[in-house]
Amino acid sequence: MRLRGMLLFLAIAAGIALIGCKDDEVWRGSGSASFLEFDSELTPAEAGQVNAAMGYLSARTVQGENVRWFREIFGGVDVPALLGFLEQRLHYILSGNTKIESRVRINAEPVVFQPRQESLLSEEDDSGRGATNLASLWFLKKAVEPEKLQFVINDQLISVESTRIGIIQLGPAFVTAPPPIQVGVLLHEGRHSDCTGGIWKSDILRTREGEDPLGVSCGHLHARCPVGHEYAGLYACDEEAWGAYSVNFIYWAAVARTCTDCPEEERVLTEAAALDAATRILVDVPAMVRGDFGAPDMTSSTEVQPR
């Protein structure tokens, strides 16, 4: 997740209905995990893939007690802990086809984003995106206060009370990814639901001006990967310890190293994925694993810090 220019010149357009085109084929069932609500625009293919990922997660054994920091990140060492981690952080699943701006309401009215803002709402490079956590809606909510920001899911107005609202939009790459990668994507998005230490007052003001926040720990925002990096120029790196790519790194390393009922191909795949995640962590990873940056702080806050 990143946030860029979401709020430039937001206008409230009373009486203008912005209703997204609905795909004829929409999912009408429910998620296999009881804590997930599927939006009505989710396609059967997307819903099927989320269910497949959750099924995979539940079916495989991991031995988190053998992986450093697994317990601290996920709150336990086994599959129920992973499910508990997701349950705290993921609640609504949106289709990649859904126009996010059409779902935002301020004082129950649709919001008009200018064309430039709409392009800023989407990622520069969309094709490789697994999913996006809309935790930044909480930044917007804080920025428009005292006006009331809500989000429409299944024709209901949802209040955005914290970054833990857990609205996840699937990306184009999610449906074609193998299940162990999909699970990693969901856990990664979960970390974006944590506003660790609260939000800076100055970042609320920056959001109001359409600028990116400077603090990264609220929402664990990504940094641009540096020149020479495989993902140079993309917001696909972490400048902090224990951000979303660190969650990927620990989970995939756990599958690669401790899953006894995973076929060899899954262990090879997750080993490569863990290494890829590690290259996106711009702090010294061996030092992070040694504990030089302290233990992961997995808490979330709605406090506004006075800086």
Chain residues that interact with Zn ion, rule: CB under 5 A: 244
Of 204 and 244, which has the nearer Cβ to Zn ion? 244
- Nearest residue to Zn ion by CB is 244
Instruction: Provide CB contacts within 8 A for 200, sequence distance 6+.
Output: 213, 214, 215, 218, 304, 305, 307
Nearest-approach distance from CB 163 to Zn ion, in angstroms: 13
d(CA 67, CA 250): 7
Q: Which residue has tokens 């079916």? A: 59
d(CA 305, CA 173): 36
DSSP string, 52-98: HHHHHHHHS---GGGSTTHHHHHSSSSHHHHHHHHHHH--EEE-TTS
d(CA 47, CA 296): 32
**H/E segment holding residue 127:** none
Of 33 and 135, which has the nearer Cβ to Zn ion? 135
Of 137 and 244, which has the nearer Cβ to Zn ion? 244
Residue 71 near residue 258, CB atoms below 8 Å? no
Nearest-approach distance from CB 222 to Zn ion, in angstroms: 5
Nearest-approach distance from CB 220 to Zn ion, in angstroms: 8
Nearest-approach distance from CB 83 to Zn ion, in angstroms: 20
Nearest-approach distance from CB 171 to Zn ion, in angstroms: 10
d(CA 73, CA 70): 5
Nearest-approach distance from CB 121 to Zn ion, in angstroms: 16
Of 175 and 244, which has the nearer Cβ to Zn ion? 244
Nearest-approach distance from CB 221 to Zn ion, in angstroms: 8
d(CA 117, CA 21): 20
d(CA 254, CA 241): 18
Cis status, amide bond into 172, omega within 30 of 0: no
Of 172 and 291, which has the nearer Cβ to Zn ion? 172
Nearest-approach distance from CB 192 to Zn ion, in angstroms: 6
Of 110 and 296, which has the nearer Cβ to Zn ion? 296
CA nearest neighbour of 241 among 217, 212, 271: 217
Of 168 and 244, which has the nearer Cβ to Zn ion? 244
Of 244 and 250, which has the nearer Cβ to Zn ion? 244
Instruction: Map residue 153 onto helix, strand or coil.
Output: strand
Nearest-approach distance from CB 183 to Zn ion, in angstroms: 15
d(CA 286, CA 282): 11
Of 44 and 128, which has the nearer Cβ to Zn ion? 128
Q: Which residue has tokens 């099924």? A: 55
